[in-house]
Amino acid sequence: MNKKYKERLQEQILIVDDLPENVRLLSSLLKEQGYRVDCATDGQMALSIVKRECPDLILLDIMIPEMDGYQVCRHLKSAEKTRHIPIIFLSGLDSEFDKIEAFKVGGVDYITKPFFVEEVVFRVKAQLSLIQQRQKCQQVLSEQIAERKITEIELNKSRALLTGVLNSSLDGVAAFEAIRDRQGEIVDFRWLIANPVAAMTVGGTIETLKGKRLFVEGYPGHLFDGLFKSFVQVVETCTVLEQEYEYNSFSFKAWFHIVAVKLGDGFAMTFRDISDRKQTEITLQKANQRLTYQANIDSLTQIANRRRFDEYITQEWSRCARDKEYLSLILCDVDYFKAYNDTYGHQAGDNCLYEVAKGIERAVKRPADVAFRYGGEEFAIILPHTEAQGAIKVAEDIHQQIQGLKIPHVSSEVSNVVSLSLGVSSIIPTPDTRTSPHTLISTADDALYEAKLKGRNRVIYRLVEFS
C-alpha cells in the first residue's frame, strides 16, 4: 500500500473478540487498510481501552467473557464521552432477536459470522465515512451560521455601509418583504434591496428591482420559479433554506447555491453560481460510473466478467439461503474453440466469442439471471430462484440460440457450425458450512466435463451430492 495513503488513514479501530483467530484476521486486515488497531478479548478490557484511547470505531462480539457485548454497548452509550463511538456487532448469533437487541442497545450495524472480509472492510469504511461527513457538515453548518449572523448584523447597519458591503460581494445578495392578502396569507414578495451581482443575474438593476414583485409580475430570465413555497416556509416557520437549485430555460442554464433566512416579515437571500463545480461533479460521477462498468464488464464480449461472477454468486448464494430458494448455475464451453482459432484466426475467434455472448444474453431473459465470461471460451450463467427443470430449459434455449447463429466451424468434430457443451446444476444453499458456492460451481463443472466426454454439443445436468 502507498505510504502516503497509510499516513492519511489514521482512524483507530477497537476489535473485541475472545477468539484469537478472529482477532488476528481482523487486525491484519484492517492494518493493511491503513487503520490503527487495538484488540480486547473481554468486556472489561474493552472498556479500559476505550477509556484510554477513545477509538473511532468498535467491532464488538456479543459472546465475550466478563460482560457480554450488549452490556459493553449499553455502558458506552450511557457515557457522554463515548456515546458517539459507532459500534458494529460482529457475532455468530443469527436470530432476529439478537439483531434487534443489538440495534436497541445502540449498535449501528450487525455482521454475522462467518463473515466475508470484503463486507467487513466495506462496512467499516462506510461507518468511518459517515463520521467524516458529519464532522464536515458540522463544520460547514458552523461556518454558515457564523456567516448568517454577520449578514444579519450588516443588514441593521447604516444604508451607506450596507451598500458598500453588498457592492463588494461576489455573491448575489438580496432582501425581500412578504406581500399578504386580507387573510394574512403570503401571495408574493417585494424586492427591498439587491446588490449589483443579484441585479445583474436576474437581468435588472438595483433601482428597477426595488419595490417590484418577485413572482406575480415575472421577469425575463427569472431564476426563482418553483421556490415560492420554500420562501414562504422560511418566513412563516423561521427555517433556513439552503439548497442547490438548477435553473433551466431555453436561453440560460445554471446551478446556484441558495441560502435564505428570515428577516423581519420577509427574508434575506444569498446565491452563488456553482455551475462550474456542478459540472465537475457530474464529470466525476460519470467517470466513476465508467470505471465501475469497466471493472465489472469483459472488454471483449461486453458481458459481466469473472470478477463480477465471484461477487454475484456469493451475493445470490446468501440471498437464496435466506429465502430457502433454488440457485442454479450453467457452465458452458465453445466446442473445439482452439481449432476454430487455428482455422479462422484470433480476430475471427474474438468475433465468435462476442456473438456467442450476445446469443447467450438473448436466451437469458429474467433481470436476475446474469451471463458472465468465465474465462477464455467458457461462459457462466447464474439463475437465482430457479429449479433444475427451469435451469435445464434455459440451457437448452442457449444451446439452440448458439446453433441458430450458424457460425461456420469446419474444424469442429461435432457440428459444421459453432456449438456449445453445457453443464447444469442446482441447489438450495444452506447457511451452514456443509455447502458453499464452490460446491455448486464444482458440480456444474463436473456436468460440463461429462458433456464433453459424451461427445460435446449437448446439455448435461448433475445433482449436487452432499458429502
Residue 415 CA to residue 324 CA, distance in Å, equals 40
Q: At what angle do helices 337-344 and 346-363 cross, to 10 degrees?
A: 130
Encoded amino acid at 459, one letter: V
Encoded amino acid at 307, one letter: R
Residue 16 CA to residue 151 CA, distance in Å, equals 49
Helix (H, G, I), strand (E, B) or coil at 98: helix
Active-site residue, from 101, 361, 377, 378: 377
Active site residue 377: yes
Any long-range contacts for 186-193 (C-beta under 8 Å, 24+ apart)? 186/232, 186/235, 186/236, 187/216, 188/213, 188/214, 188/215, 188/216, 189/213, 189/214, 189/215, 189/231, 189/266, 189/267, 190/214, 190/266, 192/266, 193/162, 193/166
Omega into 114 within 30° of 0, i.e. cis?
yes
Q: In this structure, are residues 223 and 190 in contact, taking their beta carbons and an 8 Å threshold?
A: no
Residue 257 CA to residue 244 CA, distance in Å, equals 4
Three cell numbers, residue 438: 464452490
Residue 44 CA to residue 41 CA, distance in Å, equals 9
**Under 8 Å CB-to-CB from 196, ≥6 apart: which residues?**
166, 167, 206
C-alpha 265: how far from chain center: 43
Residue 119 CA to residue 104 CA, distance in Å, equals 22
Residue 275 CA neighbour count, 13 Å, CB half: 8
C-alpha 142: how far from chain center: 28
Residue 243 CA to residue 227 CA, distance in Å, equals 11
Encoded amino acid at 409, one letter: H
Helix (H, G, I), strand (E, B) or coil at 370: strand
Active site residues: 377
